Structure 1
């Protein structure tokens, strides 16, 4: 048995841009139809007892047809809300009218798209975080079980691997805490003077000790050597560390990672470059979105055998740079990827960001 086709809604009043105008036209049309039918009935000598009921019935029928088309978006919105309550955010309202109901339908469709995007982001978060948590936990559990069962000796190398897994978990937890700060609108900076050269040297040295497995070489080049920057040291360390971790993850064995710093007018530019596969032009803006998946995003990268992480790190980097009133971008490079951070040399945070002197 074939399903019954729904009768399409007639919307002859859609060109009218006001609901009041539509209601006026509706009243005028039904009144005119009733008068016309009454007049025709009297001309045909049908008498009031036959003419009036016919006029009322036809007027009500015309009202039903026109009103159904006017209220159709409201019924569609009701059905869409019920679908959303069941977890389906793909339903949209057919908005063709120009009046207040049509504007409401358009706004509803925009809201539905936003909710669908939020739901997709939530699912991506759960999937990415679950994967990133499960991997180091499983590796750490296997290593400890082997040591407890006597299968493996607690050698320095084995303990170092276990420590690396716990550090990976710590980074993920830190990312999630920073993400919660973003959602809460945290926007305070503790600003102080930073010697860019020494700062970059410290960042490179701290990560080179943790990520020594690839045998990477770190080159720090700051011109002039006494280049200074007013910024929040903790937030800037977070920025450079995330960029370095990203560069380490995608660098080949024995590759070179460069950290360059130089002034441009009243700005300070810091670049972190690697010799990895690079970032596709179409992904260069997307990678700074939360949970984005680009060539430097949270997917396996050919030749490295590593995962790109959760996709949270670069979003946190942009958030921290934005707090300082700066800008981050992927610069053109002949080899690998170059992440360029541009910050004001003298503290100039974004509007609404509170600052306090560094302790």
Structure 2
């Protein structure tokens, strides 16, 4: 499956946002243009409607329209336009010459309240119309004529509705041209901005391309190395690049530990293998009785037992460090576990050490993996017994400290120095005074440290006078 392109996504997202913004702005601009043109048309319609409304006059014989009188004397005074008067009292409709026998749509909004509306002309073309309800005016001549005839009429009894319309064909043509211009300019603007954005994004991702090329060069090499931070990396990408460099640095460290572990493992296994080979070779070559053969086989079994313990420790350490084995999280009584494991260790060693305990008589609930914690405690107890002289004093303590339960073993330090403390927590490292023939491969303490950390606690070692203290902390249950 093809990986998604960050550059393409940025371009498409940017173009989409710009297209939406441009579209909304063009629509808004078009509405403003339309509103402006309609407002101008409405102003002209209302102005003309007021002029025509003043041509309606109330006389003794009824409502007369001056614009009709003007047409009888001089065609030059003819008023153009499409309009009609509705006499609401009589129901008569008077139309303009240009309207002829056709009729405009009738609508009304109340006295002196002009109403505008989009209508269709009789020929079907679009138009804008205004309806203005008004009263005819009465001049002095009309009043005198009414008195002479003995008639008294009131303007309020003769309401008129003038509907005046103007074709919108030209306005629609202007709006159509405006739409085309807006679309053209919008597309040109979108194309130009898309090109600029593409170039800018291309310039922005250049450091990533250089970083990718640098990483490809480094990964092609036999050794993992951490590349330098590329110049001109955008600030938003600095955390990502820094995290990646840190991951490479950790991988580099892990590979170094891997090589070191493999080297130590080879060294530790080569010696017992050579011993087993020699023992078995001598057993074949050298003549001896059954008891001598059994002694040689027993010696070989001791060597293989040591190899099995070394391999078991390596396997557990590798599984924990590689994440293949995760520590569980169950509440259990750690003091009971320590008491049982301490009794087993004393029985194995034949009670050859003096042991003092503190805090084991009360329940200490911790949270973790009972099986792994058992290995950790066994390794720490075994370390204390193996490195204590005969009849030496070993203290085993357990107490609560805040959110943790602390387990300690305290035994004589021997020739252990301050600078040795960090080293003995590394795989295959042992104290300077440890005899070569002492069982163990230097994996117990590193494994105990790994288990403590995987369980949410930790392991530290420090000197206290003539004693060395191994202190493991576990979260309380």
Same fold (TM over 0.5): yes
Please report how far the alpha carbon of residue 200 of structure 1 lies from its aligned counterpart in structure 2 after TM superposition: 0.9
Aligned to 1:302: 432
Aligned to 2:270: 134
Q: 1:157 to 1:255 in 2, by over 3 A?
A: farther
Structure 2, gaps ≥5 residues long: 1-9, 12-201
Aligned to 1:357: none
Aligned to 1:335: 466
Q: Which has the higher strand share?
A: 2
Q: In 2, distance between residues paired with 1:94 and 1:326?
A: 35
Q: 1:304 to 1:177 in 2, by over 3 A?
A: closer
Please report how far the alpha carbon of residue 305 of structure 1 lies from its aligned counterpart in structure 2 after TM superposition: 4.0
Please report how far the alpha carbon of residue 134 of structure 1 lies from its aligned counterpart in structure 2 after TM superposition: 1.6
Structure 1, gaps ≥5 residues long: 1-18, 21-66, 210-215, 349-359
Please report how far the alpha carbon of residue 274 of structure 1 lies from its aligned counterpart in structure 2 after TM superposition: 3.5
Question: Which protein, 1 or 2, shows the higher relative CO under an 8 Å CA cutoff with sep ≥ 6?
Answer: 1
Q: CA contact under 8 A between 1:321 and 1:327: conserved in structure 2? A: yes
Matched, 1:200 2:336: no
Matched, 1:176 2:314: yes
C-alpha RMSD of matched pairs (Å): 4.1
Please report how far the alpha carbon of residue 340 of structure 1 lies from its aligned counterpart in structure 2 after TM superposition: 2.0
Q: How many residues align?
A: 267
Q: In 1, distance between residues paired with 2:309 and 2:385?
A: 15
Q: In 2, distance between residues paired with 1:111 and 1:262?
A: 38
Q: Deviations over 1:91-127 (max 9, x none)?
A: 5234333505655543443233122112212211211
Aligned to 2:394: 258
- The structure 1 residue matched to 2:257, chosen from 96, 100, 121, is 121
Please report how far the alpha carbon of residue 287 of structure 1 lies from its aligned counterpart in structure 2 after TM superposition: 5.2
Aligned to 2:418: 280
Q: CA contact under 8 A between 1:200 and 1:220: conserved in structure 2? A: no
Q: CA contact under 8 A between 2:388 and 2:394: conserved in structure 1? A: no
Matched, 1:148 2:278: no
Q: CA contact under 8 A between 2:356 and 2:393: conserved in structure 1? A: no
Aligned to 1:87: 222
Matched, 1:314 2:449: no
Aligned to 2:137: none
Q: CA contact under 8 A between 2:380 and 2:409: conserved in structure 1? A: no
Structure having the higher Rg: 2
Q: Deviations over 1:224-280 (max 9, x none)?
A: 67444456664344123322444466x376573614234447846331424333252
Please report how far the alpha carbon of residue 339 of structure 1 lies from its aligned counterpart in structure 2 after TM superposition: 0.9
Q: 1:269 to 1:117 in 2, by over 3 A?
A: closer
| TM-score (norm. length: structure 1) | 0.58
